[in-house]
Amino acid sequence: MLAEDFGALKAAVTLAFIGTDPMGIVSSHGRGLGALCDSGKTNSDDPLMFAALIAPNRARDVLYHVVVAPQQTFTGWVERYLR
């Protein structure tokens, strides 16, 4: 039961970032990733646009590993059992 919950949480974390990244970039209302991308396009600031695209991906990776660490702690027996 606990192993399935962690699996669902890992999928939810990944899908949440996949859903929010494009929407934040497309719709800029003066703040967020969309505003940074628009500012980068206006000022021809390519490093800013690159950072605006890379930073959320790094945040997703960190949050994913924040979920994986307790999963390995609490359900490490599942992987040993399935081998």
Hey, how many other C-beta atoms are within 10 angstroms of the C-beta on 49? 19
- The pLDDT, as a whole number, for residue 3 is 78
Domains in the chain, number: 1
Whether residue 15 has pLDDT greater than 80: yes
**Buried/exposed code over 22-41 (b: 16+ C-beta within 10 A; e: otherwise):** eebbeeeeeeebbbbbeebe
Q: Which residue has the tokens 């600031």?
A: 45
Question: Which tens digit of pLDDT belongs to each residue from 24-42?
Answer: 666 656 677 777 777 888 8
* pLDDT (tens digit per residue) in 38-58: 788 888 888 888 887 788 888
Domain that holds residue 18: 2-82
Indicate yes or no: pTM above 0.75. no
